[in-house]
Amino acid sequence: MTYDQTLTRVETYFDRTATKAWEALTSDAPVSGIRATVRAGRDRMRAIILSQMPRDLTGLRVLDAGCGTGALAHEMARRGADVLAIDISPQLVDIARRRMPADLTGTIDFRSGDMLDVGLGRFDHVTAMDSLIYYSETDLAAALDALAARTTGSVLFTVAPRTPLLMAMWRVGKLFPRADRSPTMVPQSHKNLSRRLTSATLAPVTRVSSGFYISHALEVTP
């Protein structure tokens, strides 16, 4: 699939199929045991991404690319950042706006749209937690080059690592009828991805494995 085709599938999935499930997963509502492992893994990954950023973000402009329901954007705003949080799913952005803590009012600009829109401007840092996991290696590398070109600091993002377990799950998932599938995560090798980049440098950060949540944090710098 092309970048635009994948983007459309992601929007359809989160806006029409999985909105309620994602709203519950990213809250403190009771969830199944499997989803609880995913929630715990995402909480750990969010903390890792935050640990790679300056403790004081006052005066810095940050893009939360694929902000989902807003948890990471909230934490960066608490550190003083001027956050532009964007997601392709208007439904998830609506949830993020409703969850905005009162003391952060006016510190986050929530929008629905394409994270690669050049009209968003330039940034000091970019985060993309679990929002680039659906794209091919070629499209992912192009997206990272585009984001790094408009970022003075780091682009912190996650991928589904190319492990035997995830590769097996990826192959099984391709057997289901297309209409019944969620957007398929594309496992990535950070070494292969690094070779694809044309104007940025990639470095691994760390990996989180929590039940059905397996994710690798990486950092790109211009």
- pLDDT tens across 87-127, in order? 999 999 999 999 999 999 999 999 999 999 999 999 999 99
pLDDT (mean) for 27-56: 96
CA 103 centroid distance within chain:
25
Mean pLDDT of 174-199: 76
Q: Which amino acid is at 181?
A: R
Amino acid at 118: V
Q: The whole model's pTM is what?
A: 0.93
Using 50, 70 and 90 to split pLDDT, how confident is the model at 131? very high
Please give the torsion angle defined by the CA atoms of residues 68, 72, 73 and 79, in that order, rounded to the nearest 10 degrees: 180
Q: Is the pLDDT of residue 170 over 70?
A: no
pLDDT at 177: 42
**What's the token pair of residue 64?**
């939360």
Q: Which amino acid makes up residue 13?
A: Y
Q: Is the pLDDT of residue 8 over 50?
A: yes
Fold of 3-221: Rossmann fold (3.40.50)
pLDDT at 68 over 60: yes
Most distant CA atoms of the chain, gap in Å: 48
Q: In the 3-class helix/strand/coil scheme, how is the chain assigned residue by residue?
A: CCHHHHHHHHHHHHHHHCHHHHHHHCCCCCCCHHHHHHHHHHHHHHHHHHHCCCCCCCCCEEEEECCCCCHHHHHHHHCCCEEEEEECCHHHHHHHHHCCCHHHCCCEEEEECCCCCHHHCCECEEEECCCCCCCCHHHHHHHHHHHHHCECCCEEEEECECCHHHHHHHHHHCCCCHHHCCCCCCCECHHHHHHHCCCCEEEEEEEEEECCEEEEEEEEEC
